[in-house]
Structures are given as structure tokens and as C-alpha cells.
A = this chain, B = another copy of it.
Amino acid sequence: MSRTPHHPTRDQIELPMVLDCLSDPIRLAIVYQLAQQERVSSELRCSDFSALSGKSNLAYHFAKLRECGLMQTRIAGTNRFMRLRREDLEARFPGLLDAVIKSAAKDADRLPLVSGCDLIEVDRK
């Protein structure tokens, strides 16, 4: 098993892959939840997303989000801490991530997985 999961460089981030990644309701909810939590902390653990799906299915979606350059994973002990690659995405596709997140927020009532995200409270550490 690789010690550190593979991440594309900023330059390797591709638009169709990013859009495809964001088009899945579970992955959109993951990104949205990360974005919502950013004002508190820039990172969340895998288990913070357990409301969205089962462990192995989440691992599958996390891998997709990493491979397309939307997310970065930092390993710390048995935990994986995820954060959005905001700067890289803004450099590659200015305004895109914000527009998607705002659109998801606007439509939260239609996106059940997204609307559940706001309720999560982070009070650890």
C-alpha cells in the first residue's frame, strides 16, 4: 500500500474530470461539506462523512476526488484528513468551485445529501 495517496499536480487538473467528479451527488456533498466547514477548520476526517454512504463506498469516492484534484488527503495516524485544494482549483479554473458550491447551497433543499451537511458540528481537538 502506498504510504501517501496519489495526488495530481496543479497543472494536471483537468476540467472534464473535475466536472464529472462534482456531478455525483455523494461527491458533491463531500465537497460541499468541506466547503461549509472551512470557516471552522480546513480539514475533515473520512468518518465525518459517514452519513453519506458506507465506508468502502466513501473510500471509492474519496479516491475519485483526489484523482481529479479536488481534494487532498493528509495521513495522520489512523486518520485521513481531507481538505479542498482551493488555491489550485482557483488557479486552474477561476470562480468555478465557488460557483458550484454556491449553486449547491442554493439548491440544498433539493440535494438531500447536501442539505444534511450543515448540521454537522466539529468540536474535537
- The interface of chain A, by Cβ under 8 A from chain B, is 14-17, 19-20, 22-25, 28, 92-96, 98-100, 102-104, 106-107, 110-111
Contacts and interface: CB of A to CB of B under 8 A. Distances in A.
A111 B20 contact: no
Contacts of A22: 19
Given A95-B102, A99-B96, A23 B16 contact: yes
A98 B100 CA distance: 11
A93 B110 CA distance: 13
Given A93-B107, A96-B100, A99-B99, 19 more contacts: A14-B110, A15-B103, A15-B104, A15-B107, A15-B111, A16-B23, A16-B111, A17-B23, A19-B22, A19-B28, A20-B20, A20-B23, A23-B23, A92-B103, A93-B103, A93-B106, A95-B99, A95-B102, A96-B103
